[in-house]
Structure 1
Amino acid sequence: MTALASAPDVATPTRRARAPRARWGFVLPALVILVALLWALFPALFTSQSPTETVAASLQAPSAEHWFGTDATGRDLYARVIYGASQSILGALIAVAVGLVVGTAMGVIAGAVGGAVDEVLMRVVDVLLAIPALLLSLSVVILLGFGTTSAAIAVGVTSIAVFARLARSRVVSVRVADFVEAAYGSGGTFFGVLWRHILPNSLTPVIALAALQLGSAILQISTLGFLGYGAPPPTPEWGLLIAEGRNYVATAWWLTVLPGIVVVLVVLATNRLSQAIRGGDAA
């Protein structure tokens, strides 16, 4: 009896120690993403330098005056990284919105209706999954034309299948739950039960996937920008900044390393936030 009674006292400090880590595991990545969003929306609040005008000698190393140094034409790299957030992050948000809306709609319809509709929609999803993401995005961006918006739509198309499969699997599992059957037995209509009971209990993993896909979309848009399919120069975009500095890696490392670090931090923050939404900190 004594051993059993003392067990909660041993476990309680452990749970208390986990709580601050869990909070910081959500707060820190959320702050990183918030700063990146503020860069994208209000870049002038963070720098007074122009991202496209020459402000100093070329290839100056990072200093108190130019935190990220200057590029090959004397433009302030810190200002270009900040203004580039509007291209990379807002483009990624468009991409996630395309995949989330279209993919979730396909998955919900397939899972809720079933039958031939489910079969047809899932075969479309299988076709999308069979095409490599980079190849599919390149094909779409070539059809739509170069630019950030075209790149964002192209990246969004590549994520439709992922959202559709997850949404369908959640709807199918919730659709056979006892409370859904009870709702139908109480006279609930198909759309009423779908809206009130199935969707609210199915979309939490989809939202977590959206946070995860935001990081993936930033990487894919940066990749397209690196390859020259994104925003045209001199418009700053994170992938383009890395591409512009690749010829100066030996003499001006900051041109690729510092924008690359920013991309990595934002992507890691979105991944960590996705884990927090899924409840990974509760383990």
Structure 2
Amino acid sequence: MTLAAPGAATRVAPSPGPSSSGSGARTLSRVGLALPVLVILLALAWALFPALFTGQSPTDTVAPSLQAPSAEHWFGTDATGRDLYARVVYGASQSIVGALVAVLVGLVVGTAMGLAAGAIGGAVDEVLMRVVDVLLAIPALLLSLSVVILLGFGTTSAAIAVGVTSIAVFARLARSRVVSVRVTDFVEAAYGSGGTFFGVLWRHILPNSLTPVIALAALQFGSAILQISTLGFLGYGAPPPTPEWGLLIAEGRNYVATAWWLTVLPGIVVVLVVLATNRLSQALRGGDAS
């Protein structure tokens, strides 16, 4: 055993550099975010350009009924011999566009209500928040069914109905953000510099209140797909033979034992799209910002 001479400098083991585990975690996180984005982009492409993904008609009989998935018919055929994959692809336009309309209704109306309640306060805040409380007190499915019955059946009516159920959620979040932002120093400074109420509201309060609202919109997009599919499953959405994801699942429920693909494959598509939107919402809330 060799002893170091007195006064000799002791060699210190070099400290390890930045751990590769952090960069590896970030890489996995980016990959984990890329997959949901690809799923959402694919669903949007189905909705906008369905003919690019299938040459089959979604409403015409093209093969014997209840054929299992094969190379020719990826999702098999339904009870009338229609290509199920084509119906799922073309059905994206009903479900995705309907969900976008629903989120737009909730986002615009709810954010406007929350902005007015938080910025004006007083009696306006009390009245609008009591309206929000009433909307929250009614179960979402019951409220959407009531609106659909008033407007009539169809995808547009279902989308508006689902949008109405999300107004209260957007309004509450927008109000809470506006109330917290309007008392910050930079807003007070904007007023002190001669800014008008609407000018400060538009330039400072609204932009600094929208980030969580946009994240909620991404989350509500997945929820809207589920609700529109539910209304379609119950028969309140697009009428047959129009392909719509909830309607496709409803049409196959009588054949679960003999033709599982009629319900399982459209259901998997719905689940994947909803999970992808939820993952994107988490990213927008800042979970993967680093």
Pairwise TM-score range, normalised by the shorter structure: over 0.9
Structure 2 residue 199 is matched with structure 1 residue 158: no
Correspondence for 1:222: 229
How far 1:22 sits from its partner (Å)?
Answer: 2.6
Instruction: Answer whether contact 1:81 1:236 (CA < 8 A) is retained.
Output: yes
How far 1:6 sits from its partner (Å)?
Answer: 4.5
**1:132-179 deviation per Cα after TM superposition (whole angstroms, max 9, x unaligned):** 000000000000000000000000000000000000000000111111
Higher helix share: 1
Name the larger-Rg structure.
2
Q: Which runs of 5+ in 1 are unaligned?
A: none
Correspondence for 2:27: 20
Correspondence for 1:259: 266
How far 1:263 sits from its partner (Å)?
Answer: 0.1
Correspondence for 1:170: 177
Structure 2 residue 267 is matched with structure 1 residue 248: no
The separation in 2 between residues aligned to 1:173 and 1:17, in whole angstroms, is: 37
**1:219-263 deviation per Cα after TM superposition (whole angstroms, max 9, x unaligned):** 000000000000000000000000000000000000000000000
Structure 2 residue 200 is matched with structure 1 residue 193: yes
Bigger drift between 157-166 and 16-25 goes to: 16-25
SS of the residue 1:54 aligns to: coil
Q: What TM-score, normalized by structure 1, do the two folds share?
A: 0.96
Q: Quick one: which of 55, 58, 62 aligns to 2:65?
A: 58
The separation in 1 between residues aligned to 2:168 and 2:114, in whole angstroms, is: 9
The separation in 2 between residues aligned to 1:17 and 1:188, in whole angstroms, is: 47
The separation in 2 between residues aligned to 1:171 and 1:6, in whole angstroms, is: 47
Instruction: Answer whether contact 1:25 1:276 (CA < 8 A) is retained.
Output: no
The separation in 1 between residues aligned to 2:286 and 2:32, in whole angstroms, is: 11
The separation in 1 between residues aligned to 2:41 and 2:203, in whole angstroms, is: 32
Q: What TM-score, normalized by structure 2, do the two folds share?
A: 0.93
State the AA in 1 paired with 2:236.
Y
SS of the residue 1:203 aligns to: helix
Q: How does 1:43-82 map to 2 (within 5 A)?
A: 43-82=50-89
Give 4+ residue runs of structure 1 displaced > 2 Å after superposition: 12-15
The separation in 2 between residues aligned to 1:20 and 1:191, in whole angstroms, is: 43
State the AA in 1 paired with 2:81.
G
Q: Quick one: which of 135, 139, 152 aligns to 1:145?
A: 152
How far 1:30 sits from its partner (Å)?
Answer: 1.1
Q: How does 1:4-43 map to 2 (within 5 A)?
A: 6=15, 9-10=17-18, 12-43=19-50
Instruction: Answer whether contact 1:66 1:78 (CA < 8 A) is retained.
Output: yes
SS of the residue 1:18 aligns to: helix
How far 1:282 sits from its partner (Å)?
Answer: 4.5
Correspondence for 1:111: 118
Q: How does 1:82-93 map to 2 (within 5 A)?
A: 82-93=89-100
Q: Which runs of 5+ in 2 are unaligned?
A: 1-10
The separation in 1 between residues aligned to 2:267 and 2:26, in whole angstroms, is: 32
Instruction: Answer whether contact 1:51 1:80 (CA < 8 A) is retained.
Output: yes
State the AA in 2 paired with 1:107.
G
**1:49-82 deviation per Cα after TM superposition (whole angstroms, max 9, x unaligned):** 0000000000000000000000000000000000
The separation in 1 between residues aligned to 2:90 and 2:73, in whole angstroms, is: 15
State the AA in 2 paired with 1:203.
L
How far 1:25 sits from its partner (Å)?
Answer: 2.9
Instruction: Answer whether contact 1:61 1:70 (CA < 8 A) is retained.
Output: yes
State the AA in 1 paired with 2:109.
V
The separation in 2 between residues aligned to 1:127 and 1:14, in whole angstroms, is: 49
How far 1:15 sits from its partner (Å)?
Answer: 2.7
Structure 2 residue 104 is matched with structure 1 residue 97: yes
Correspondence for 2:8: none
How far 1:197 sits from its partner (Å)?
Answer: 1.1
